[in-house]
Structure 1
Amino acid sequence: MSQPPKRARYHQRGPVPQDVIAAETFELPPLPLPAGVARVAVLAAPINPSDVLTLTGEYGLLPPLPAVGGNEGVGRVLDVAADVTGLAPGTLVLLPVGCGSWSTHLDLPAKSLVPLPDGVDPVQVSMLTVNPPTALLMLRDFVDLQPGDWVIQNAANSAVGGYLVQLAKLRGINTINVVRRASAIDAVVAAGAEHVIVDAEDLPKRVREKVGDVPIRLGIDCVGGVSTENLARCLAEGGTVVNYGAMSGERCMISPRYFVFRDITLRGFWLSQWFKKASAEQRRAVFAEIGGLIAEGKLSARIQATYSIDHIKDAVAAAASGARDGKIVVEPNGPPRAAI
């Protein structure tokens, strides 16, 4: 091992996420590994909005301090304990959620690692466990959409938004994609979206001008504030708004008249809650569907830049920026890479 192991660790939380995290060297336990354990070199780990909110203390589930950042990722097995079977060194593996993936090396229970086929892009598959399932489940589980139906989403330039566009297209579902700034339109169109609109108070009028008076039964909201009501006003009677975030920093605002007179429903979605309730078979089915699409090149995320572990402060600052047009990914064992 030419360089000492490093991990991105934080000892406190604060309003500026990059200020509380730093790369630290650490010592790996000596070999041989304890029973049931595998040692993994982490190849890629994304920075999700939930990771940033964890650093600021605003997320719904906070680990005890000190903690290592990162909730998902991909690695390659370096060594396994003598009793571990079916997991050979060199195997590409999906890391368990919440493992502290912003680290060059991890010792993990071998049974928690999911083997992946060789030949897949580690950066793309490192994002398999959070954003793609969020997009798939919101698109699938709240409203029974059929080919030809319509869905409207805001934060369409987010990672979840990009996955939702691709998954909807694969299912023959039409999307109307709302962004908060005109400069984000090109990136959303490049991701395959046909209809992209900048959010404003007259959103329903401009939606009708663009696609006509089509019945929209599902709205996906990641912004909160008045944007929640803007989406609700675009929906047909009996429609559903699903909120999964508050990028505006504001609570969802929606007039009671939309609940009372138009029978609009407002629901919330948090993947962690789904994981708690879903059976092992349901989880495997979702990951198998998403993993297959990523491996086939039918599902991907735009990457703005990747960073080494030594540049974790810059990486977190970039991820926290509201002007991104792609995902920020940490490559703990590799050099920074140009944006894709």
Structure 2
Amino acid sequence: MPSRSPGSESRRTSYASSISRSRTLPAPGEVKVAVEFSPLNLHDLKVVRGELGRPPLPLVLGSEGVGRVVEAGPGVDTLAAGDLVVLPLLAGAWRERLLPADGLFRLPEGSVEQFSMLGINPPTAGLILSEYADLRPGGWIVQNAANSGVGRSLIALAKARGFRTINFVRDESVFAELTAAGADIVRLDGATAVEEVRTAIGDARVGLAVDSVGGDAPARLLDLLSEGGALVSYASATGQPMSVDALTLIGKRATVHGFFAGHFDYATKVLPVIREAAPLVASGALFVPLGAVFDLDDIHTAIEQVIRGGKTLLKVARS
């Protein structure tokens, strides 16, 4: 995978290669995959709008998804027809067939729809957990938008790795569900959230804060962050500039990072987290509620659903 910015030449090459390799038969080391489901993400809409650079046309969209092996090419002995696989990140999943070569592995038994969401959210959560802070078993992480796909992935992966999570949400109705999923603390993201959490954890160290809301929400995360900790932003649901107190940032010697999964090498960084998360999905430990599933022909309705909110899948396979 590319290691440069979303608008870089290497990123454009990634998109272009998804077009140029639309052949009929798998080459040595490749498999032909029939795409079944692909999430429709806001990231895909940003690509269409030209907000993440301008990849060359023609362009097959679809940043992630799941498919079933139809035929294995020469030299492939780890996969067979009928195996379910996660599609490589940015492979162009909104098409019936494609020929990926690298990083495919057979998924365990489980929900095909849930497996289709393995490509972006779990790697985002897993890499944020591993790349920015020296977290120790029992250590605390705080995040907002904890009911999102990344938020739920972070809860599951943190629990599996022995970390504890503080989770801010906007709706009390999800408290019990997130707690059952492994969240240690769940609170409404508001003016009293920081005080409530500090009452619960005392002086315990919070080494990592994860934001996807923007605006003034990161300030509450920073208030909880311990000295030398890291604040990582992977999205901005409000679309507002991040607002944090500079003196708090300086006094805590905190660092602020922006995150995008496409900046990390796929084979060595992204893929291992997908492998780690797959058994969690299969067991139900990682579950993301679905808003709706649409046929690919209903793309306009699906886009309207994504803009309104809620996880949306495209059913690519023909009945």
- TM norm structure 2: 0.81
Letter in 1 for 2:287: S
Deviation at 1:89, TM superposition (A): 3.1
Aligned match of 1:286 in 255, 269, 273? 273
Q: Which residue, out of 244, 254, 262, partners 2:234?
A: 244
d(CA) in 1 for partners of 2:165, 2:103: 35
Identical pairs, percent: 37
CA distance in 1, matches of 2:159, 2:206: 16
- Superposition deviation, residue 135 in structure 1: 0.6
| 2:94 is the counterpart of 1:107 | no
Q: Paired residue for 1:266?
A: 256
Unmatched tracts of structure 2, length 5 or more: 1-21
- The residue that corresponds to 2:64 in the other structure is 72
Number of the residue aligned with 1:47: 40
Structure-1 residue corresponding to 2:147: 157
8 A contact 2:108–2:278 mirrored in 1: no
> Post-superposition shift, 1:189?
3.8
RMSD: 2.8
Number of residue-to-residue matches in the alignment? 296
The SS at the match of 2:159 is helix
Higher helix share: 2
Are 2:305 and 1:318 equivalent residues in the alignment? yes
Q: Could you tell me how far apart the structure 2 residues matched to 1:196 and 1:146 are?
A: 21
Do the aligned partners of residues 192 and 307 (structure 1) sit closer, same or farther apart at CA in structure 2, a change above 3 Å counting? Answer: farther
Long gaps (5+) in structure 1: 1-28, 336-340
Structure (1 or 2) with the larger CA radius of gyration: 1
Cα contact 2:38–2:94 (8 A) shared by 1: yes
Q: Residues 65 and 186 of structure 1: is their aligned pair in 2 closer, same or farther, counting only changes over 3 Å?
A: farther
The 1:183/1:55 distance shift into structure 2, 3 A limit, reads: farther
C-alpha displacement at 1:32, in angstroms? 5.9
- Partner of residue 195, structure 2: 205
Q: Is the alpha carbon distance of 1:34 and 1:200 closer, same or farther for their aligned partners in structure 2, counting shifts above 3 Å?
A: closer
2: CA distance, partners of 1:302 / 1:34: 35
Give yes or no for the alignment of 1:63 onto 2:55: yes
Cα distance in 2 between the residues matched to 1:97 and 1:50: 12
- DSSP-derived class of the 2:99 partner: strand
Q: Over residues 188-240 of structure 1, what are the superposed CA-to-partner deviations in whole Å (9 max), with x where a residue is unaligned?
A: 34533242222224432232244444332211111111111121011222222
TM-score for both structures, normalised by structure 1 = 0.76
